[in-house]
Amino acid sequence: MYAHIAEHIIRWLPGCLIFLLSACSQSAGHNPANTAARSDSLLEQERIERSWDSLRSLARQVKDGDIVCRTGNDFTSETFRKMARRDQTYSHLGIAMRENDSIFIYHALGGEWNPDQLIRRDPLSVFAEPYNNNGAGLFRFANADSFIGNLKAQIEKARKDSVRFDMSFSLSSNDRMYCAEFVLKCIQWGSLEQIRFQPSRMGSIDYVAVDDIILHPACRPITRVVYK
């Protein structure tokens, strides 16, 4: 009798294990957490696609000499945004130039993103990509067409002179500049001092923030996009 029972159990166990494994597999596939993760991934993919559409729309409006801003989503960008006194939307900016069918942004950047610290020339799609940024803005100075040649010359001179990022954030040095300082001096020198800027002040220190550039009376917004 016991031998018969043992034989029956031996035959029954493999089938039971197969059933349990199948049930566990199906249960894992319908885990609410897994479903939510897939849903979040799809939503993020859709957000990224909408963001690229917004950036392409902005790109169609870019002219030589325009100022392009971005809103970084990292801690350092948040710190730079807080340096602005009036408009804390943007953390970084550069000067746009169309070259053949492409748009490049010239900008001063430091840190791990730019180890050699030299002035960068990045495609707009790299400068304002939606993975590390929450949005972008396009701004234009009045009569920029009248001094665009000189503005380009100032940018090329900074690159030829190997101007590096200024980690001391001093306005007095011209061989080292930080992002807003680079834009300020290129616009100011390029316009032959017709456009001048009023720096911000913190204690006894003068500095330039992004909003000191884009809120200049001669500068107007063309478009702002939020990646969402």
The tens digit of pLDDT for each residue in 139-189 reads 999 999 999 999 999 999 999 999 999 999 999 999 999 999 999 999 999
Cβ neighbours of residue 87 under 8 Å, at least 6 residues apart?
A: 210, 211, 214, 215
Strands 102-107, 176-177: pairing kind: unpaired
Sign, CA dihedral 179-151-164-124, equals: positive
Q: What is the pLDDT of residue 33?
A: 56
Say if pTM beats, i.e. exceeds, 0.85: no
Q: What is the pLDDT of residue 207?
A: 97
Q: What is the pLDDT of residue 195?
A: 97
62-226 CATH pick, 3.40.720.10, 3.40.50.300, 1.10.10.10, 3.90.1720.10: 3.90.1720.10
Going by pLDDT thresholds of 50, 70 and 90, the confidence category of residue 31 is low
pLDDT of 81 strictly over 60:
yes
Name the residue among 184, 187, 162, 185 with its Cα closest to residue 175: 162
Length of the chain: 228
Cβ neighbours of residue 153 under 8 Å, at least 6 residues apart?
A: 190
The proportion of the chain whose per-residue pLDDT surpasses 70, expressed as a percent, equals: 83
Query: Poorest-confidence range of 21-35, 55-69, 100-114, 116-130?
Result: 21-35
> Residue 181 in contact with residue 166, Cβ under 8 Å?
yes
Sign, CA dihedral 21-27-33-34, equals: positive
Mean of the per-residue pLDDT values for the chain?
88
The tens digit of pLDDT for each residue in 82-94 reads 999 999 999 999 9
- 3-class SS at 176? strand
- 3-class SS at 113? helix
